[in-house]
Structures are given as C-alpha cells and as structure tokens.
A and B are shown apart, each in its own frame.
Chain A
Amino acid sequence: MNKATDNHLMEQVRNGNVEKLAILFERYQVMLYNFFLRLTGNRSISEDLVQDVFIRLLKYRSSYQGQNKFIIWLYKIARNTHIDYLRKRKDQVSLSKQWDEAASQEPSPSEKMEQAQEIARINQALAKLPLKKREVLILSRFQHLKYEEIAELFGCHIGTVKVLVHRAIKELGKAYFVLSGGMAS
C-alpha cells in the first residue's frame, strides 16, 4: 500500500476531483469497518460509521493538508465519528451486552463451537477496557499502526502509547481470565 499515493489521491479529492475518493474507499473500507466493529461490537453500526467517515472526508476535504499522513488523518476522522456516535447514543447498551447479542444472533456456521466461544470471550474482554486502551490495542494489534503513528494520532508522546499498550494487555488478560471462569488477581 503506497502511502504517498494515498496523499496524492486525497489532494486530488481536495482540489475537486472527488471521483478519486472511490479508490480510497476501496482501500480502506474493510479496515475501517473492522476498526469500528472492534470498538462498537455491532456490525450494522460499524457499517453506518464507515459511511459517516467518507461523508466527513468529503465535507472536510478542503482542510486536508498534504504534508500529513493520510492514514493518520483518516483515523482522526474515524475516532471523532465514533466519539460523536457514543455521545448521540441515547440507549446506553453496554458493549459486552452487544457482543453477547452479536454472538448469539449471528453465529458463523463454518466456525466450530469452541472457537466461536473463544472469539466471543475475547470480544467481551475487549469491551470491558476503557475506550482509550481499547483503541490503542485495536490500532496496534489489528490496524497495524506503529506506536509512533498512534502517538501522532492521539497527540501524545510515544512513551505514553507504550505504557497504555502494556496496561491494556494486562487488563485484557485479567478480564479474559475472569470470563474464562477464573478469579481476578
């Protein structure tokens, strides 16, 4: 994936060639969908949020500055979209509950029962983490962002990101242990 080309494409979108957004959509829609899915635990909401991100890309296209990495700008918009969604959400359904529902309503037939349970457990443990820790873990583990990029995205020092990752994994481990039937230490 050529990052320079992403920047070039977004610059063209900014300059009025909005057709080029389709290429960026094809490149990043799956990645964004999975980012939101791990954050919200809800497939339908994640699809809506992906749509919202691309609407915002068009809305704020004139504010795009080429010197910034496109991916960082994209994730900034994605994070804001998610935060706005959390603010608007009136019926505060807890994430772990949503994952329970998602797992029971949409089981994948190809997956074995045991693996399905393991996935549900990991998702529920993830949902128990505070938002920032969840974000940092998702971005580093699944979205393959470097710590340096996450630091730029969060507007903090790289050391802070590493500490957050360290703590997030520890907390996740504890939550997973409890969900597996163990006792938290």
Chain B
Amino acid sequence: MKCTQIKERFPDFLIGEIDEITRKEIQEHVTLCDSCREELESLSAIWAKLGVLPEEQPSNKVRRRFYAMLEKYKQTLKQEKSRPHLGKLLDGWLERWALRRPVFQFSFAFLLLVVGLAAGYFLQTSWQRNGEINLLRQEVHQIRQIAAVSLLRQESLSEQLRGIGWSSRVEQPDEATLAALLSTVESETDINLRLDAIDALLLFRDYPMVRQELVQSISEHTSPLVEIALTLARNVNHL
C-alpha cells in the first residue's frame, strides 16, 4: 500500500476497527516509512492522552428531576384518558347516529343548504320591508351630490377635479349638480377642467337641461379643444 492508503487507515487503526492483515501491513509500512511512523505516533499519542479524561457521574439531582418529570407526564396521560377529547366525543356521537354513511352525510348537507337559503331569504325580505337600505342609499346619493357641488365651487383645481369625479358617481343628479358642472364648462379658465366636466356631463346627456346647454354653448367657446369635445358630445347625444 502507498503512504496515502496507509494514512487513510489510521483512524481504523486507532479505534481498533481493523482486520489482522491490514494491521500487520500498517505496522510493516511504518517500520520502513519515517513520515508515516511519525504521524501514527503523534496520532496515537494524542488518542491515548484523551484517555486521561475520567468518566464523571452526574449528581443525584438528574435522577430526581427525571423521575419527577416522568411522574408528572404519567399523571397528564391519565387525565387525558379520563377526560375524553371533544373530537373523540363528537366522533362517537356521529358513529352512534350512523352519520358516517355517505347517504346520511349528503342528506344532512342538503338539509343545511335548504335551511341556509330559507334563512337568507327571510332576512332579506324583512330588511327590505324596513326600507332601511333604500333610505341609506338615498342619503349616500344626496351626500355625493352635496360633495360634488361644494367641491366644484372650490378655488383649487384639484378640489374641482375631485368634484367632477364625485358628480360622475351620482346616479340621478339634481339641478344644482348639473348647474355646477355646466358652469365649470362655461366659465372655467382651465381647459383640462372643462374637458373633464364635459366628460362627466356626457353621462347625463339624456337630461334636457344638459342637452340644451351643450348645444347652446358650442358657439360661445374659443378654445378649439373644448369645441371639439362639445361637438363630439353632441354627436354622442344624437346616437
């Protein structure tokens, strides 16, 4: 064997996990090879030196704590056995009532579905009778209109833009909202605001007041962009 192969077997040699033939081979090699002999000697020396470390005994505290822990664990196990788990109880109940068979499971699921639908239907009708939802809807609608009008009257451009946004979310605008939008188209100096207002008015083109104003105002505007937008609005109106 070569030196590298011999050295690879050193850990086996130290632990004694080695057959007699290999042991002899190693011993013969190290008598001839100084480098391998030195290495084996130093490894064996430190391996033997480790033997000075005595085996110590743990204190009796370890045993005491272990038995206390084991006793406590046994008590917990006993308690668990005497107090059946909720899941197990339910399991036993289902077993007794034969609800584990698929036919019963389907019927039970169907029954639950019917009960759920019926409950939903009754709840819905009772709410409608109260008319609370409708009342709330109306209030929200009014609030949107108030918000739109007041924002359109603001000085700030961004507030006015928000006002146009709010007005376009109103489903049935009143005259004040429409008038505020029309006045933005008429008198506002910022072109972008006017174009946005025209866009919002397009949503309400079926209102006679809007239709009339759109037609009238087309001749009064000097801005080509606004005129184009108004022409387009009129055309949409005719469709």
Contact = CB atoms under 8 A, between A and B. Distances in A.
Main secondary structure of the interface of A (DSSP, over half): helix
Interface stretch (A2-10, A22-30, A88-96): A22-30
Given A146-B17, A173-B42, A29 B73 contact: no
B33 interface: no
Nearest to B46: A173
A152 interface: no
Given A18-B77, A29-B62, A30-B57, A169 B17 contact: no
Nearest to A37: B56
Give the interface residue-count category, chain A. 35 or more
Contacts of A51: 62, 65-66, 69
Contacts of A176: 46, 49
B55 A147 contact: no
B69 A43 contact: no
B188 to A, nearest CB: 68
Contacts of B49: 118, 122, 176
Contact of A169 (B8, B14, B62, B69): B14
Interface string B36-51: 0000001101110110
A169 B58 contact: no
B115 interface: no
Contacts of A75: none
Interface in B29-83: 42-43, 45-47, 49-50, 52-59, 61-63, 65-67, 69-70, 73-74, 77
B59 to A, nearest CB: 7
A122 B50 contact: yes
B1 interface: no
A98 interface: no
Contact of A18 (B11, B17, B74): B74
Give the interface residue-count category, chain B. 20 to 34
Given A170-B43, A173-B42, A162 B8 contact: yes
A141 B50 CA distance: 8
A55 B68 CA distance: 11
B170 to A, nearest CB: 62
Contacts of B66: 22, 25, 29, 50-51, 54
Interface string A43-67: 1001100110011001000000000
A74 B221 CA distance: 92
Given A146-B17, A173-B42, A176-B46, A33 B62 contact: yes
A12 interface: no
A47 B67 CA distance: 14
B52 A119 contact: yes
B66 to A, nearest CB: 5
Contacts of B53: 38, 119, 122-123, 142
A22 B70 contact: yes
Contacts of B61: 47
Interface in B81-95: none
A118 B49 CA distance: 9
A33 B58 contact: yes
A115 interface: yes
Contacts of A165: 11, 14-15
